[in-house]
Structure formats: C-alpha cells, structure tokens
Structure 1
Amino acid sequence: MLRTVALLAVVGTATACADRVDPSAWSDSQAWAAMYPSALDVVKAVDPRTEPEEFADGHDACHPSDFIGDSLDEREVIRAASITLSLPPLDRRSPTQLARDGVTHMERKGWKGPRPDNIPALDGQASVDLTLPGSGRATVSATRERPTTIPAFNQVTISLHTDCLRNSSWHR
C-alpha cells in the first residue's frame, strides 16, 4: 500500500511539473528575434556582395507531455535554422580567419564563446560554438570546399538552435 501511495505521489508530481510552463518565460519567438538577425548580419558582413542561403529547420517539441515520455506536445520547442554563404573562389581568407571574424562580430552582438584566437583549424575547417544567454546557441563553421568541376571556394555556415523555450504559438 505504501509503495502504491509513493508511486502515485511521484506520478502526480511529475505530471504536474510536465504541464507547468511559466507563461512569463522568454518565448521561442523572442529568442529568435534576438538571435537570427545578428547571425544574418554576421554572415552578410563576411561578403556583402554575395547573398546567403537561409534554411529554416522549423521547430521540435522538447519535453514529453506525459510521465512515460512517449508523447510530445509543442508547449515548449527548440527552433533551428542555418545560414550559409559560399564565397567566390578569389576570396583567399582561410577557414580559420573566417570563423574568427564571425566570432568577433557575434561577440559584439552579445554572443559568448571562446576567444577568437583560440579557434583551431583542422583539415581546412574551423568550427566554434557560441551561446546567446537565455536564447540559444550557434555554431560558426568555415570550410574550404574542393569540388572537382569548379575552383575551390570557402563556405561559412552559422547553425542556430534556441534553448527549449515556451512556444509563442501554443494554444491549449
């Protein structure tokens, strides 16, 4: 009997916690408004003459809505997207320099990460993770692409993911 009561207490508490989302908490839309424009500005600053490609990955639910965890609702979500810029072959900056420049620009906009001079290059690639406190994270990657049919070129990508936040479009 005591085990049953204890189990019911645990289930009741877990269910109550899973259903409680602070309505005043930062929403996915607010975080996105803080993150996305600054990341897009950084990519555009790398080469203002070239238009970046923007890929919206949508959003994913991030917490189970029941105690067992086999179903998700979208009360809280993680939004994701990436922005990619392919530079002209004449651009001779190294992937490391491109990543360092991106990190420097993002730090000016409130992002936190490693010091730009601590970004290593590995096999023609450089990648670094940053966070925008209370909003989400970004990965700045720069690579030297070497296709066989066209000249080699650099590519810069910023991948964005919000934290697990209140879904601004969720309606009960």
Structure 2
Amino acid sequence: MSTRPRVPAAALRWDWGMAPSRAYARTRSRIPTHRRGLRVAALLALAGAMTACSTQVDPAQRTYRQAMDSMYPDVYDAAKAVDPGSKPEEFGGGSSACHPQDFVGDSMDDAQVVASADVSVILSASDSRSPDQLVREVVTRLEGKGWKRSGNKEKRDDEVAVRVTRPGSGSAHVSAHREHPESNRDFTVLDVGVVTDCLRNPGYSGG
C-alpha cells in the first residue's frame, strides 16, 4: 500500500489538483475500469446534488476548505478502522464551480465551489465481511460523530452504498463491492467519496 505519510487535513489545505500517489495508481489498476467509472459517477452525482441544494448553506459563513477539514478526518478514520493494519489510499477529486453568474444560472464562476475527495481500502481476500457489513461499520462510526444518514441503502449486484451527510458541510458516499479477479481470490473494496456543499472559495479573486 501507499508509503505516503498521512498529512492532517488542516495542514494539507487540499490541493484539489494533486495527482494520486504511485501506490494509489497501482491499487486502482487492480480495479476494473467500469468500477472506477462508478466511483467517479457517484462523486459527480453527489457534487450535482450539493450544487442544487446550495441555497441551504450560507456561503458567506463557511469556506469549502473549512468544510472539508471538518469532514475528511472523520471519513479517513472511519475507513481505516475497518482494517487498522492497512493504510487507506487517498485521492483529491478536484473542485467544481457552483456559483451562478446570472439569474438564469446557465454559467458558474469559482466564487463558490463544490470539492471532493476519495478514500479507499482494499481488504484482504481472507476477510470474510460482506460489502453490506463494511458499509454498515463505516456509517455507524460516522453517525457516532454527528453525521446523518440520508436516503435508503442502494444495492446493485455485489455493491452496497449509503449516503450520509454532515449538515452545513457536505456528504459522503460510502460503498463497498466484491472484486472477482481471474487469477486471484476474490476480495472486497471499500470506498468513501466525500463532497462539500456549495461553499465560498477563499481563493477567488474575480469580479
């Protein structure tokens, strides 16, 4: 797994354009392209939902960095707890403008943004826990820190997903699925994508 040291959220200051570590790239190569596509689709769906609901949060009172700094440690710790002996893989997913430039809202600027990140854990083939159990463990830990479950559990084939929210900050999409490699034993992948609400961008200097 990755040898990159964990950097506290507040210190990292979220370089959303950062490239994944080489170890993360190796990990992702074990996961079929269609699975990686589902992850990206889930994050984009969450980002879209947060953009649509941006009026529920006053962007003048909170920045997207503050929101991510408040959420990411919870997500990382909850993911790591399912396999304390391993190091979760981390990836900054990027940011997307969500502040409408006009009344119609056809175009956006970076005065407010939605930002995302991803934490993944690949479980040993000897781990007998089901995707449903892994997701439940993570959601329970997040609920213990004040997160709220949102909507129903999603199940498709061998994948399970649950969305949880942290009011005023954003949401997390907790999912787990089984992989069935041709030349190795089956194993389970846990993935937690975290997305902020549409919030103020302190780095924006436009008019």
Identify whether the pair has TM-score above 0.5, normalized to the shorter chain. yes
Which SS does the other structure have where 1:78 is aligned? strand
Q: Post-superposition shift, 1:120? A: 6.5
Aligned length: 150
2:68 is matched with 32
1:45 is matched with 81
Q: Post-superposition shift, 1:50? A: 1.3
1:104 is matched with 140
Q: Post-superposition shift, 1:123? A: 2.3
What pairs with 1:1-150 in structure 2 (closer than 5 Å)? 24-67=60-103, 69-113=105-149, 119=153, 121-150=155-184
The answer to whether the 8 Å contact 2:171/2:194 transfers is: yes
Which SS does the other structure have where 2:67 is aligned? helix
- The residue type paired with residue 73 of structure 2 is P
The answer to whether the 8 Å contact 1:146/1:153 transfers is: yes
Inter-partner Cα distance in structure 2 for 1:122 and 1:23: 35
Larger radius of gyration: 1
Inter-partner Cα distance in structure 2 for 1:171 and 1:23: 15
In 2 relative to 1, CA 147–33 (structure 1 residues): closer, same or farther, beyond 3 Å?
Answer: same
The answer to whether the 8 Å contact 2:59/2:199 transfers is: no
Q: Post-superposition shift, 1:36? A: 0.5
The answer to whether the 8 Å contact 2:131/2:160 transfers is: yes
Q: Which of 187, 199, 204 is 1:153 aligned to? A: 187
In 2 relative to 1, CA 67–141 (structure 1 residues): closer, same or farther, beyond 3 Å?
Answer: same
Inter-partner Cα distance in structure 1 for 2:158 and 2:169: 30
Identity of aligned residues (%): 45
Q: TM-score, normalised by structure 2?
A: 0.66
Deviations 1:25-59 (A, max 9, x none): 11101111111110000111010111111111111
1:167 is matched with 201
The answer to whether the 8 Å contact 1:96/1:119 transfers is: no
The answer to whether the 8 Å contact 1:96/1:120 transfers is: no
Q: Post-superposition shift, 1:169? A: 1.8
Gap runs ≥5 in structure 2: 1-57
Q: Post-superposition shift, 1:156? A: 0.4
The answer to whether the 8 Å contact 2:59/2:200 transfers is: yes
